[in-house]
Structure 1
Amino acid sequence: MDAGLVREARAGSDAAFARLVERHQAPVRAFLRRMLGRNWDDADDLAQDVFVAAWGSLGRLKDVAGFRSWLLGIAWRKAQDRMRSGLRSQARDRSWLDEAQRSDGISEEDRLALADAMAELPTDQRACVALCLADGWSHGEAAEALGLPLGTVKSHVARGRARLLAVLTGGSDDA
């Protein structure tokens, strides 16, 4: 049955490919969920990527009867890429945290409180604080990158700094 649908899809039938997706979506998602563990949303997003890649490379499928195994091969390679990317990201995060702990002397408790306080800042303010205070950008550089007026960036940085200091020192937040 897949072979006929694959031939039709190769001939340009969106409906045939939609039927292939319908037939194989659950097994692909289940495979990716098992591969990626508890991150089911990530697995479901990746399943969509698998079908997009399959649609784009359907012409390169050599054996139309082997569509299912070909599709799961795409899923396997995408899962490997995602897992490797996740490991690299974790290593970068650990390295950054280790370096930050060595260089600034902030306790883990204060670091977590700071992260929580950053998450509570309004989005624009958080971006300005992240660029100017955490990454050392000038107000002008941040204004250009964020597409905000210079005065707004300065104001966001000042208010954000006040909120963060209030959290870390246990003071009141007047901003």
Structure 2
Amino acid sequence: MPSYLPSQADLIQRARQGSDEAFSRLVNDHQQAVRGFVRRLCALPDDADDLAQDAFVTAWANLHKLIDGVSFRTFVCGIAYRKALNDRRRFNRSGARDTEWQGLTPQSHTSTVDSRLTVQAALAQLPIEQRAAVSLCVAGDYSHSEAAEILGLPLGTVKSHIQKGREKLNALLGVSS
């Protein structure tokens, strides 16, 4: 006898009614995609799992805000993106305070052909908006429309971020376009 597999909409509805089991199932179905996305965004890779977990906790508390027809994965990735932006701002403020306090000037992060940057290192050099768009659409297999929804940006802006991000990645990696 085949077992019944609830749809995402069923799981969301049950989770909205307080079912821990349904929400746990949603987390299990989407945690790899969310964690992978956040890992490509974080200033410190060790922070990625914490941010992803925090995004799921926030999603649980705000499940009532999930619009019908929007996938749970898109909803959580949007939350994770906003959390990553806040984390990046915190990281930048902390670094600026440390640099100011120590009287140091920031060192240039120029790359050379000999440095053989990895894709992750190259991604880390992109502005976070470009990194997010490239991570979603190129590495995460999201459509441009889904990325625009997750990032809360117009479709044209997402496409521009992807184009500029790809150009910079190609330059950093020494790939001719």
TM class, shorter-length = 0.5 to 0.7
Query: Are the aligned partners of 2:14 and 2:22 in contact in 1 as well (CA < 8 Å)?
Result: yes
In the alignment, structure 2 segments of 5+ residues that lack a partner are 1-6, 105-177
In the alignment, structure 1 segments of 5+ residues that lack a partner are 100-175
Name the residue aligned to 2:19: 13
Deviation string, structure 1 residues 89-136 (Cα, Å, up to 9, x no partner) = 10011011118xxxxxxxxxxxxxxxxxxxxxxxxxxxxxxxxxxxxx
Query: Are the aligned partners of 2:34 and 2:73 in contact in 1 as well (CA < 8 Å)?
Result: no
Query: Are the aligned partners of 2:26 and 2:72 in contact in 1 as well (CA < 8 Å)?
Result: no
Structure 1 residue 61: deviation in Å? 1.1
Name the residue aligned to 1:3: 9
Helix, strand or coil at the partner of 1:36: coil
Name the residue aligned to 1:35: 41
Percent of pairs with identical residues: 51
Give the Cα separation in 2 of the matches to 1:65 and 1:77: 17
Q: Which has the larger radius of gyration?
A: 1
Q: Tell me the TM-score normalized by structure 2.
A: 0.53
- 1:55-66 equivalent positions in 2, closer than 5 A: 55-66=60-71
Structure 1 residue 3: deviation in Å? 1.2
Name segments (4+ residues, structure 1) moved above 4 Å. none
C-alpha RMSD over aligned residues: 1.5
Structure 1 residue 41: deviation in Å? 1.9
Q: Tell me the TM-score normalized by structure 1.
A: 0.53
Higher helix residue share:
1
What amino acid is the match of 1:60?
A: K
Deviation string, structure 1 residues 21-69 (Cα, Å, up to 9, x no partner) = 11111111100001115x3220001111001100000011122542221
Name the residue aligned to 1:26: 32
Q: Which has the higher contact order (CA 8 A, sep 6+)?
A: 2
Structure 1 residue 16: deviation in Å? 0.3
- 1:28-107 equivalent positions in 2, closer than 5 A: 28-36=34-42, 39-98=44-103
